[in-house]
């Protein structure tokens, strides 16, 4: 039996026969099926045990305690993890567990609604916040549903042609009526964590704590609620294909199911073991440029499974659209010249967002701005 027949058969077997609402994701849609080289090698719940095969876990307890030695240790650990892995987990982060639990409850209530109900707030090209079940990553359809909202109610982005600015805002569902509240409380708590981490990351590069704050006064950060339904073809598709985040950095909480995998420097894929008490932090494109490649934005992907739906909530901490991202001059020297040309952040985001919608859209990366690359 060919892959296509097998998909159709598996799809028919997993359909709930008396449910007349269409599924949000349909496995017989072949856009989900990855080329063999991109399919996952490890299952969602496969993890390695040795310390070199796990991303570091950093205890943030000393931050805000006045314990100078403890604070220096945190800064060192964050710097090492950002350099070695581009990924780490943080515990004692200051976000109350009840804030996360409440958002999870509301997210489940939303994502388990019939598709037509969710589509009432469907995301569009002009209105990129809201619900969406057709996102592409690197031209493959992701096995996921998302709900996106802005941390700061509104933001300005370049239009499609990058000639004028447009203002975008949030769309909230009527049902469940408490989702908005849960989202806003979560945004406030995680935004504080984002600014704490920004200070730590700046200090870890030897810069003053608030050196980079100027780029975040009107930051254009969205929070995404990712819902990965059970998938009848988990060895052929991915919840999110391998990619690097276009943020400065990302702060993510995941439930206990597992599925996030990170590519280590040597190319090996490593599963991030879920921890209820931790946020996963990863360096994005902007910090890689600011640090002139000292910190790495690394590839990651999400593996889905046949038994249990999964939730994750990334907060993409993005600078204001007008930011011209360049390697921080204070970090450059004759021996360490700038590796990148200036990149307008709004332009970069616009190009990246276009790729989420369009097959064969241009998937722009910071390498396009590397010195010695033609423009």
Residue count, binding to Fe ion (CB under 5 A): 1
Q: Are 198 and 212 in contact (CB under 8 A)?
A: yes
d(CA 116, CA 24): 9
Residue 148 in contact with ligand AKG, rule: CB under 6 A: no
- Choosing from 302, 304, 328, 364, the residue that interacts with ligand AKG (CB under 6 A) is 302
φ and ψ of 157, to 5 deg: -130, 155
Residue 245 in contact with ligand AKG, rule: CB under 6 A: yes
- Choosing from 221, 288, 312, 318, the residue that interacts with ligand AKG (CB under 6 A) is 312
- Minimum distance from CB of 284 to Fe ion (Å)? 8
Residue 245 in contact with Fe ion, rule: CB under 5 A: yes
- Minimum distance from CB of 198 to ligand AKG (Å)? 19
103 binds, among ligand AKG, Fe ion, none (CB under 5 to 8 A by kind): none
Residue count, binding to ligand AKG (CB under 6 A): 11
226 binds, among ligand AKG, Fe ion, none (CB under 5 to 8 A by kind): ligand AKG
d(CA 367, CA 375): 10
Residue 123 in contact with ligand AKG, rule: CB under 6 A: no
Residue 227 or 369 having the CB closest to ligand AKG: 227
Would you state the structure tokens that stand for residue 197, as one six-digit string?
């981490």
Q: In 31-164, where does DSSP find H-type helix?
A: 68-84, 97-111, 115-118
- Minimum distance from CB of 222 to ligand AKG (Å)? 10
Q: Calculate ∠ Cα 191-284-92, nearest 5°.
A: 45
Residue 242 in contact with ligand AKG, rule: CB under 6 A: no
φ and ψ of 279, to 5 deg: -105, 145
Residue 130 or 314 having the CB closest to ligand AKG: 314
Q: How many CA atoms lie within 13 A of 309 on its CB side?
A: 13
Per-residue three-class SS string for 290-334: HCCCCCCCCCEEECCCCCCCEEEEEEEECCCCCCEECCCHHHCCC
Residue 34 DSSP one-character state: P
Residue 353 DSSP one-character state: H
d(CA 233, CA 140): 14
- Minimum distance from CB of 314 to ligand AKG (Å)? 5
Site track 252-281 with ligand AKG (rule: CB under 6 A), x = hit: x-x-----x---------------------
Residue 240 or 285 having the CB closest to ligand AKG: 240
Q: Which helix (H) or strand (E) holds 261?
A: strand 260-263
Residue 74 or 269 having the CB closest to Fe ion: 269
Residue 300 in contact with ligand AKG, rule: CB under 6 A: yes
Residues at the site binding Fe ion, with contacts judged by CB under 5 A: 245
Residues at the site binding ligand AKG, with contacts judged by CB under 6 A: 224, 226, 240, 245, 252, 254, 260, 300, 302, 312, 314
């Amino acid at each position: 039996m060919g892959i296509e027949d097998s998909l159709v058969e598996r799809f028919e077997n997993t359909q709930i026969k008396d449910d007349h609402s269409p599924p949000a994701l349909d496995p017989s849609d072949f856009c989900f099926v990855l080329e063999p080289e991109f399919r996952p090698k490890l299952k969602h719940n496969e993890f390695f045990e040795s310390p070199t095969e796990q991303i570091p876990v950093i205890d943030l307890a000393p931050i805000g305690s006045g314990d100078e030695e403890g604070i220096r240790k945190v800064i060192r650990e964050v710097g090492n993890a950002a350099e070695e892995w581009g990924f780490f987990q943080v515990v004692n982060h200051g976000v109350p567990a009840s804030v996360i639990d409440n958002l999870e409850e509301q997210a489940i209530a939303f994502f388990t609604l019939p598709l037509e109900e969710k589509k009432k707030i469907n995301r569009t090209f002009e209105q990129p916040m809201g619900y969406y079940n057709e996102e592409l990553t690197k031209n493959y359809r992701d096995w996921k549903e998302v709900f996106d909202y802005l941390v700061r109610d509104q933001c300005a982005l370049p239009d499609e042609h990058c000639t004028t600015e447009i203002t975008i805002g949030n769309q909230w569902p009527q049902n469940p009526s408490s989702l908005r509240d849960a989202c806003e409380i979560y945004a406030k708590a995680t935004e504080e964590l984002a600014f704490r981490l920004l200070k730590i990351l700046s200090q870890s590069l030897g810069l003053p704590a608030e050196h980079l704050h100027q780029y975040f006064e009107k930051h254009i950060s969205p929070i995404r609620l990712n819902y990965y339904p059970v998938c009848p073809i988990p060895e052929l598709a991915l919840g999110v294909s391998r990619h690097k985040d276009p943020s400065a950095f990302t702060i993510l909480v995941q439930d206990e199911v597992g599925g996030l995998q990170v590519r280590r420097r040597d190319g090996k894929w490593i599963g991030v073991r879920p921890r209820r008490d931790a946020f996963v932090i990863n360096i994005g494109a902007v910090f890689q440029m600011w640090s002139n490649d000292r910190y790495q934005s690394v590839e990651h992907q999400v593996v889905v499974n046949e038994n249990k739906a999964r939730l994750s909530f990334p907060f993409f901490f993005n600078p204001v659209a007008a930011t011209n991202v360049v390697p921080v001059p204070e970090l450059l020297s004759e021996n360490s010249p700038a590796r990148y040309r200036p990149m307008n952040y709004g332009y970069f985001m616009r190009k990246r967002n276009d790729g989420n919608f369009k097959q064969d859209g241009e998937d722009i990366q910071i390498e396009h701005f590397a010195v010695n690359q033609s423009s």
